[in-house]
Structure 1
Amino acid sequence: MARHIYRCPLRWSDMDAFGHVNNVVFLRYLEEARVDFMFRPAPDGVTSSFTEGTVVARHEIDYVRPLVHRHEPVTVETWVTRIRSAAVTLSYEVKDYAAGEPAVEGGERPDVLYARASTVIVPYDLDAKRPRRLTADELAFLEGFLDGRDEGREKSRALVA
């Protein structure tokens, strides 16, 4: 299972009165990562499509620890946990590596997790103003990031009309 990695810059305006990144700003970070995931062309120039439209149907965020404002970007990992004919669930982890933490065996530093989240997106026909089914290209792209361990996996090939 592949995860999409997005390095999200922190802005001065992201901070609340306590010096932490405000909780609603996390939605912006998820949006930036999702847009980068869905619309940035792959190295071979092929986009993941989605140009026909999508809308957000649901967000869910679990805040694990405060993210203190700093100059270094935070990492947002995105992957797919469920594919249905007209809805996709994306999962995220907002994290980075612990500054000053001792390296574990192999030289890697342990992850510091700030939030776990999920978003349900619905493919949407912008002209008809109604949900639509995933295209074959969209489905093929999403399957490359599917981790069926988090939620039940349906037989996605049968979902494309």
Structure 2
Amino acid sequence: MSDPGNLVHVIDMPLRWGDMDAYGHANNTVYFRFFEEARITWLTSLKLGLKGEPTGPIIIKTSATFLKELSHPATVEVRTYAGKAGNTSLDTWHEIVDKDTGALYSEGYAKVVWFDREAHKSTPLPDTLRALATSS
């Protein structure tokens, strides 16, 4: 991840015993859940996309690069970055880092589109998010 954008949110999360798979490490879906929880916690802290509001985020593309095996017990720090903003979308990036050692477990990406829940179509990105995005 060469330039993920502006660091906008950090959250600590424990790896639960049940998050591991038969091979004794975190199942790959857990990384996406960490990304999702970090993203939702960040947006909630900004009071954006809350339940019942007419607009909110949807994800149209996501990916992860798995760099290091993650095993229980562990507490990770999930860092969220706001990248480039479009008219209706925002590139977001994530890093999952070991809270104690600083080891980088995974890098992730999600393209967030702001969505009108009643009209079922994209709508302009809130100014709050646009202000946090990188200018490139």
TM-score range normalised by the length of the shorter chain: 0.7 to 0.9
CA contact (8 A) 1:48 1:137 kept: no
Residue 57 of structure 1 contacts residue 119 of structure 1 at CA under 8 Å; is this kept in 2?
Answer: yes
Structure 2, unmatched stretches of 5+, are 1-5
- Of 18, 21, 36, 1:16 maps to 21
The answer for the alignment partner of 1:156 in structure 2 is none
Q: 2:3 corresponds to which residue?
A: none
Gaps of 5+ in 1: 41-46, 100-110, 154-161
Find 1:81's aligned residue among 74, 80, 83: 83
CA contact (8 A) 1:123 1:133 kept: yes
Specify the code of the residue in structure 2 equivalent to 1:118.
Y
Query: Which residue in 1 is equivalent to 2:42?
Result: 37
CA distance 1:125–1:62, change in 2 (3 Å): same
CA distance in 1, matches of 2:22, 2:13: 21
Distance 2:129 2:80 in 1: 16
| Matched ranges for 1:12-161 at <5 A | 12-40=17-45, 47-51=46-50, 52-70=55-73, 72-97=74-99, 99=101, 111-140=102-131, 142-143=132-133, 146=134, 153=136
Indicate if the aligned counterparts of 2:78 and 2:97 stay in contact, CA closer than 8 A.
yes
Q: CA deviation at 1:11?
A: 1.5
Name the structure with the higher strand share.
Answer: 2
Distance 1:129 1:55 in 2: 11
C-alpha displacement at 1:2, in angstroms? 3.5
**1:12 Cα deviation (Å)?**
1.8
For the 8 Å contact 2:12–2:99, the answer to whether it is kept is no
CA contact (8 A) 1:56 1:122 kept: yes
Identity of aligned pairs, percent? 28
Q: Which moved more, 1:129-138 or 1:59-68?
A: 129-138
Given the two structures, how large is their TM-score scaled by the length of structure 1?
A: 0.72
Structure number with bigger Rg: 1
**1:50–1:138 CA contact under 8 A, matched in 2:** no
Q: Work out the number of aligned pairs and report it.
A: 127
Q: Quick one: which amino acid aligns to residue 24 of structure 1?
A: T
Pairwise CA distance, 1:135 = 2.4
Q: TM-score, normalising length from structure 2?
A: 0.84
